[in-house]
Structure 1
């Protein structure tokens, strides 16, 4: 490592792929010459508990404050003014001349031997990147400086996962009276224009069959309150209510897994209907625009990918189907007539699904206690995961989620067990299906999602929990919502968690703000005309949650 002529760099696998440190195929790699010890897995440093821990800490180091503070120095050496000339000599950053761009014109060489010799040198020594900068690159802002700038910004929102001890809860009521909210979500990329800058985005709620599209604005300095919520008046008026057409299957429990909203807030996809269909409803018109019957039994769960390209459906018929979301001019208009893939492997009702187009991965869980992974493009079976369970009773998979890096979080529940003790558990797997650990739960999970490095869960016992993705341990004490939670979702800027309760209240959880910033009312221009917004003030509607020990 101290030899200046021996240039080493870490391959990308050091930051995302723990499997490369293990000899999983049990190849015969020989013995050490002196000790005769068998060469097998890579010997890790003492600070790493496992290959996964090694990669996790490497990535943390790469994103650390120290690396950020010195990142500009690396840029200067590789792409900047220290790549060539006197500055490179002073920094001991001079390499073999053939590696530099433009140093050798191979096309101009007529002597074949000379040409091959130079090509061999270039192949051996590598190639120095293009020099992009002739002046020192500025240093990156520190985390503290970024926070200071954000607090001065007029439109900044605080990431609640960076301020977990400061969470507060507020409630919005009057959306429904005693009817559970089974879906509440702020869609990811809603269309905006220069005419509507600063106007509320759409928050979609579904109260069993009633659809509401409400106005939503997270906190910023232009808004005097913690958030702005503009209630959809059609929800409470029987004459103007928009509902999902067609009855649901008799006896089916209506949960958040039956509903998916397109990222532009224009379409609602729903399952659970009596005719085994997936229905597409226009949120703007409140009318049915598509009905797709391909499953042989009731559709029990739906999920959409992060890009809004694919939809996955699971059914009582034990199959899953991948659907292409049809777009016109970049706007989703419905589903393709036929599924892209039909996935098999389960022997009982599919109870939960998740999909990641970026990772080309579909994950499904069923009442047969199995979790199966398929690819999207080819529909190829990859592997089956069987979460550990000591009970002889039936183990089901009510919920699962996939992280950005492909970590699979599985919630299992033992059917027939009357007490909550050891009935529910969380299990963590790597993207390649390696079992990483489990954690017993004291409550029954009703909804779950993974955001960044955190798992957010709501339970029928009324607790909102935030857990660390890698250890599965609680990051803060659960927030007691006092009533069964039917749905949870995290807003796209990670500023709030939306929680739907059994009594119809919508709980909004986020980072508390000073009282002086939450007083008063908001008056702003919408579509060029001044309009007073009826809003829910955080100062008046704080929800009294109690920490669970």
Structure 2
């Protein structure tokens, strides 16, 4: 919930005058203490009934704010003011104070907030003279500027704006930051700039000062409670660059509870000014931003570690939606379609809105009429002339909470009582059938106590046609009160059905179905001006044309910044994804399979883990590992080390060309075999526990018999070095720098307990050398990594004849290692670019990226925990479900080259320091 908006609303009741009483974009300059003499009274009586207050000079109006709150605020729009001059008075006038009395002649005045009650403005259209006497200033201080602004109001709109801008620039350039407001004399000034503080529907210009320890904002007027806003850099938690009014000018700053204010939204004259402040802030040591995990939120959401609500707020923020900007207010989906039942059944699919369709496509009859019009429409075509999120729609929902914002947006008037937000069922029905009503919801529907649904009776919104006054919003029968309504809507948002289908709505609002051909297919095309980048506002030189374009854009609404170009991953439920979805969804990176309905997804057999200890080793074990055994028998880096599954032996290969066998029982080396004239890259222990398969840089694969102590067979497998090996279901997989992975069939002769000569089955061709690969279990797809950083996904099902379903450029450099998660839903990859990435297998979307500052070279699973060896000798323990590193320990003096998981809760590592180490928990 955005407390900033509501705290501002509360302050409006304390401080009568606010920028919301002015026209949008109007600037408040300064005020003067005055007496106002009521119009239409004899002078003696006017003097007797004079009102003390402040006369506020604004760019398009003059506003008198009386001290007594029961009296109305009076506003004189400049366009109706015909004369501003010194009032000379009569010969016997008691007001004849030289250079102190001001006369304003106006055809219209507006009364506001009488008795400090928020109500529609009263427009009094009659020509009259209004007299004010200055208490401290003189006419020389005030009259020239007011006359200049009054003359500007008589000019054409473009000339008027140019003149006002010139006045504003002249005034602001003369104002320097008051350094006496610096908190600490020893602060070093880093940057001084001009910008606007943005709050909903208003902007306030001022000076911005960045020092070595604080950020200051000094407004050019006295509208704020503080003459200078001061924020310690150490209290700032987030700094986000934002799009404001279609241009990259905004900077939103979030603070902790110790700061003077919760957060500050600034806009700048140019993108360069904004970026200059942003970049200089990041260089200051006092600024320590919290890691909000922007690169791992999708993974946390997918795993259920953050709620649907929090993830949607995160996406809104990334798409430049802010609670401080009503033109880009956060958007939330309607998820419930039943507002008539006495109980809300979250187990019934008919209770829910179809999240795969935009609001405009939910009613087939209305959609048919829209499409008929769309076919005959000239370019640029659109389906919906109104949007799902506009300032008007936001305040339609929040009118009871923010009535003063409604008056500001609607020129001092409330909407017709019958058109207000009176009934949930009526509002939902209108979104289904209305010719121009396609609005979604706002975050307030899913958080808080629902007080925006209550009428406090402080504001009179009028009477409906049937004589009833506008009151609380009528709730559906299944809700006891506003708090219960919000609670049940939140339960619906977080329920299984919505969780399994929310990615479809994300595709429409933030994703690949937002625009273009996919949007057209999804019946999701809005007016072209609603999309980011549709036009360049700065290219419009004519002010009238530019102003008209900006007004249209704000009225039509603004589509969020597009965040995803491919299908968004779905959230995991308790059931596994269908295996076929991996190849279908990934193909061409632009198609998705139809998502099954609740409980329609077929169950699959549980995944069998190759080592029983994987199920039993705990995170606590991994956090308490000690060396159980270590030895250094190789002369060069150990490239691979494996534990025999049934016998207490360790096998290792090295760049010294040697295969070594070490006995855990005897604590000594049993075998040392020179396998090749070149380095050995990898080894695996065959299921018979009597044969070791070794890959070499000399392009060959060697089969070493433990029983006979010799190489039984040599396979000339590739045209370049063998980089990796795997054995699954009587098939041997070999990868090579020659850009191929080859599959060989080995059949065991049960009578002699030996393997027959391998039979070449198929070849997976790549564009460049293959560095690593991995297979799911049981075998249905293979993922390979290449020298150029590409991740290739291969469908191994017999019906698809081993074809590449997708190729994704994941890393900027060589991929070092790849893992498929035990549930087959994710692919982990690490590369020479020092990045750890997680890919969703169903959509091939990157859902996590982390700069790990050193290369991860090898990876393995311990249950759902991933362990990774890096280039500086550490073993890193990651909880992938939570997208966080939970532990690390120093394992080798050089790079950790290999990891194997053994029985009795042990881990085997091989390092560039030529050593092999066995680790066990000390608990």
**Contact kept in structure 2, 1:267 and 1:333, CA below 8 Å:** no
In structure 1, C-alpha distance between the alignment counterparts of 2:903 and 2:744, rounded to whole Å: 24
Q: Which runs of 5+ in 1 are unaligned?
A: 11-20, 61-154, 191-199, 217-228, 236-240, 414-422, 514-549
**For 2:823, which of 405, 420, 426 is the aligned residue?**
405
**For 1:184, which of 617, 620, 641 is the aligned residue?**
641
Local SS of the residue matching 1:339? strand
Q: Which has the larger radius of gyration?
A: 2
- C-alpha deviation, 1:412, in angstroms: 2.0
**For 1:351, which of 758, 761, 771 is the aligned residue?**
771
- Report the counterpart of residue 838 of structure 2 in structure 1: 428
Please show how residues 67-216 of structure 1 align to structure 2 within 5 Å: 159-164=616-621, 166-176=623-633, 178-188=635-645, 190=646, 201-207=648-654, 208-216=656-664
Local SS of the residue matching 1:35? helix
Please show how residues 330-409 of structure 1 align to structure 2 within 5 Å: 333-334=754-755, 337-344=758-765, 346-356=766-776, 358-376=778-796, 377=798, 378-388=800-810, 394-406=812-824, 407-409=826-828
Q: Does 1:470 find its partner at 2:881?
A: yes
Q: Does 1:247 find its partner at 2:677?
A: yes
Q: 1:489 to 1:347 in 2, by over 3 A?
A: same
**For 2:666, which of 222, 230, 236 is the aligned residue?**
230
Q: CA offsets, 1:264-317, max 9 Å, x none?
A: 43222222242x222211133331112222433332222233xx5322211222
In structure 2, C-alpha distance between the alignment counterparts of 1:22 and 1:489, rounded to whole Å: 44
Q: Which runs of 5+ in 2 are unaligned?
A: 1-337, 365-427, 433-437, 441-489, 504-567, 577-611
**Contact kept in structure 2, 1:459 and 1:485, CA below 8 Å:** yes
Q: 1:175 to 1:343 in 2, by over 3 A?
A: same
- C-alpha deviation, 1:490, in angstroms: 1.2
- C-alpha deviation, 1:483, in angstroms: 3.1
**Contact kept in structure 1, 2:642 and 2:684, CA below 8 Å:** no
- Greater relative CO (CA pairs within 8 A, separation 6+): 1
**For 1:318, which of 728, 733, 739 is the aligned residue?**
739
In structure 2, C-alpha distance between the alignment counterparts of 1:332 and 1:9, rounded to whole Å: 58
Please show how residues 296-307 of structure 1 align to structure 2 within 5 Å: 296-305=719-728
- C-alpha deviation, 1:360, in angstroms: 0.9
In structure 1, C-alpha distance between the alignment counterparts of 2:867 and 2:751, rounded to whole Å: 31
Q: Does 1:288 find its partner at 2:711?
A: yes
Local SS of the residue matching 1:45? helix
In structure 2, C-alpha distance between the alignment counterparts of 1:332 and 1:404, rounded to whole Å: 31
TM-score, normalised by the number of residues in structure 1: 0.55
In structure 2, C-alpha distance between the alignment counterparts of 1:56 and 1:492, rounded to whole Å: 30
- Report the counterpart of residue 450 of structure 1 in structure 2: 861
Q: 1:158 to 1:273 in 2, by over 3 A?
A: closer
**Contact kept in structure 2, 1:312 and 1:353, CA below 8 Å:** no
How many residues of Structure 1 are paired with residues of Structure 2 in the alignment?
353
- C-alpha deviation, 1:176, in angstroms: 0.9
Local SS of the residue matching 2:493? coil
TM-score, normalised by the number of residues in structure 2: 0.34
Local SS of the residue matching 1:163? helix
Q: Does 1:260 find its partner at 2:684?
A: yes
**Contact kept in structure 2, 1:439 and 1:472, CA below 8 Å:** no
In structure 1, C-alpha distance between the alignment counterparts of 2:847 and 2:493, rounded to whole Å: 19
In structure 2, C-alpha distance between the alignment counterparts of 1:429 and 1:330, rounded to whole Å: 45
Local SS of the residue matching 1:206? strand
Q: 1:473 to 1:347 in 2, by over 3 A?
A: same
**Contact kept in structure 2, 1:323 and 1:335, CA below 8 Å:** no
Q: CA offsets, 1:405-448, max 9 Å, x none?
A: 222111122xxxxxxxxx31111122332322111112122222
In structure 2, C-alpha distance between the alignment counterparts of 1:364 and 1:408, rounded to whole Å: 10
In structure 1, C-alpha distance between the alignment counterparts of 2:355 and 2:751, rounded to whole Å: 43
In structure 2, C-alpha distance between the alignment counterparts of 1:185 and 1:375, rounded to whole Å: 28
Local SS of the residue matching 1:487? strand
- Report the counterpart of residue 128 of structure 1 in structure 2: none
Q: 1:262 to 1:157 in 2, by over 3 A?
A: closer
Q: CA offsets, 1:444-484, max 9 Å, x none?
A: 22222233212211122111111122344212134353333
Local SS of the residue matching 2:768? coil
In structure 2, C-alpha distance between the alignment counterparts of 1:265 and 1:201, rounded to whole Å: 11
Q: 1:379 to 1:278 in 2, by over 3 A?
A: farther
